[in-house]
Structure 1
Amino acid sequence: MFFYVARQPILNRDKSLFAYELLFRDGMNNAFPNISADEATSKLVESSQFSSGIDDLTGGKLAFINFAEEAIINQLPTLLPNETVVVEVLETVTPNKNLVHALTTLKSKGYTIALDDFIYDEAWNQVFPHVDIIKIDIQISGLSEINELRRKLKDYSFKYLAEKVETYEEFQLGSTLGFDYFQGYFFSKPEVIQKRALNPSQIAFADLLFETSKLDMDVNKVCASIERDVGLSYKLLRFVNSSAFHRSRKIENLKQAIVFLGQQELQKLVAVIAAAQLSDNKPSELMRLSITRARFCEHLAVLYGRKDDAPKAFLTGLMSLIDAIMDDELKNILDRIPLSQDIYDALIDKRGVLAYLLALAVSYENANWARTSQIAKKLKISEADLPDLYLDATSWANAYSEFDEEE
């Protein structure tokens, strides 16, 4: 049996990463045949592969995990570390004495408790003393309902988390309403649809990004540009010596780094660093998502049997969020970049193999398991291989982000 595990970011009011909710396939089609969501959660948590891979999925951040009533009563969360996991009580759970006792026990063991998709009912009063976080679906609960809920719960020191936040307008409204955390992909969309003015340093990085996008990239020209930029040289050296690569000997100079990486890896790294520079003042999770998606697309190309197209797939994944990074229409940006026609077709016209690989990556990261299965079958890609590839992509992105965020 294999497990689909995706993640959705949870940001704080400063748009910094607070945690991830881990989302998994729990009973559809062939993933978990003929078992309940509760049993699916049990099998997931008991999986040694999952237990050992939480940090790789979350980069050391908190992991929100849904637990149904039986799983909570049976103390299933205790199989996972209390400093890592937030026990998310599903909205389908019925508040009763057994549940209260179970949550009391979990709380005494140091677990953080959250109520998912919460809608007020007096029956939950007995549970509130053990709760830390209230999650509210802002697509379901209106302004008046949210204000009324806050009034009823004013005697409790809950943190409030807004779910399904898909636009910056919703994020701003949630901030005004006093929400502490925000879950959704609002940060991955342009804040304003107009070209953002770039500073001289960003313009230089944009030029470098455009240069590395060329099929006939001039390696010597790119290397010379890197050598003239101390910051970029430093980032390159930090990266090749990071945990993304398993090296026994440290690389100590730029020439060694360039030789070690080779043209394709150098092209990929420069694209990532340039995109990171362009995403200055944007949520760090936006760049992490871009890198994860790029790496995942690269893996999918190899799995599909198109290894030669892996660099294109990487760039397709990375560029799929460039509109949010640069706050401009995607077509406007790509018209200024000398990308190959198949990458352009994938991003703008949604056609070609690269478009399918990107769609598979996006459906997986959004935990749209039905769509994931549909595309995987069309491409004749084994669904059983996807979890490991996604885990590697998140680990790779985390390794890059670790040193990049230290700057």
Structure 2
Amino acid sequence: MEVFVARQPILDSNEQLIGYELLYRNGQVDFYNHVDGDRATIDVLINSFVSIGVDHISYQKKCFINFTENLLLQGFPENFPPEFVVVEILETIKPTKNIIESIVKLKKLGYTIALDDFVYEDQFKDLVELADIIKVEFPKMSAEQHWKLLKIARDYKIKLLAEKVETRQEFELAVKLGYDYFQGYFFSKPTIIKTTDIPSYSHVFVEIIQELNKSDTDIDTITRLIERDLSLSYKLLKLINSGSQTKNKITSLKQAIVLLGLKEVQKWTSIISLSGAGVGIPFQAIELCLSRAKMGELLANHLNKDKSEYFLLGMFSLIDTILHRPMDEAVKVLPFSDELKDALLGSKNTYGECLVLMQALENGDWETFATSCGKLGITEEESMNCYSQAIEWSSYIVEVIQAA
């Protein structure tokens, strides 16, 4: 499943990059198809901060993102880091008491507030007092409107951003007038950033959220539910690795859940579930990942190894195929031990030998199967029993997913 985000650079008067506006797109063509505003913003956020990553989407510079009235009232921007997010208030949003309160809260949390496509009217005074940046469609503004905005900017210490700057002449005029930031086709049309995502299956989200809402939430139950969904597992592990929660390596999904915290798991499960679920990944691939994960866990019992790490080994053994990217690129964002990463990259350490054993069984390569059993010190009968149990377990999980 491919995901897309368009970005357009925002520069200062020295033509130095200060950030990007991130825009919803659902394909390689630079065209907005007027999808529901809430869904468009949620997709932009998930695709940018989870699927692609802020390092790649904006080089850790500011991301200007439109938020609808509904998402502001829900406090949705709070799910994303204030050091990177500029909250754009759409021109269609009325400054009601609830909206003002939500923006005041965002300001206290450190978010930068921008008013989008702004034309001053007295009813917007409360918004102006909270704004850090005012964005205006530069070519549309009259001389009188320019001077009024420049006075407001001086009085309230607000930065002015000129949008839709399409010529060198317009840029130089905007600089001369006193605008601070600039955006438009003169610098760059929006460019499309694409990556491959792993689709999720919505019934898993429902079960997880229901379990998290119980007064006696059980972490082991949450872990088992998340283990069913490769997409959610991958994204939660990426979040752990990109955050400040830990510098240690993760040896199990349960450890990741404990480090992230149940409230964070609930929040991100809800957000990811809103971003689109349930299409694009063949059930055969899901079933193979699950069977390898379970077999790894069962083999670990015979090898006296950590069964949680061997579960992760099997679960992510096809992540390169699913994401359509090299394995080294796919696993570098995961907080795994070096030994586990090396095995996924082809090393023949103990983890890697377990993968060889799994693949030999799947392919009916009995010579390699026998050799791997010998190297691991496990009998062929024990290995076959592990394989049989793993196939039975993964088939049941896939049946549950398909029936949901």
Shorter-chain-normalised TM-score: which range? Answer: 0.3 to 0.5
TM-score computed with the length of structure 2 as normaliser: 0.43
Greater Rg over alpha carbons, structure: 2
- Higher RCO, 1 or 2 (CA under 8 Å, sep at least 6)? 1
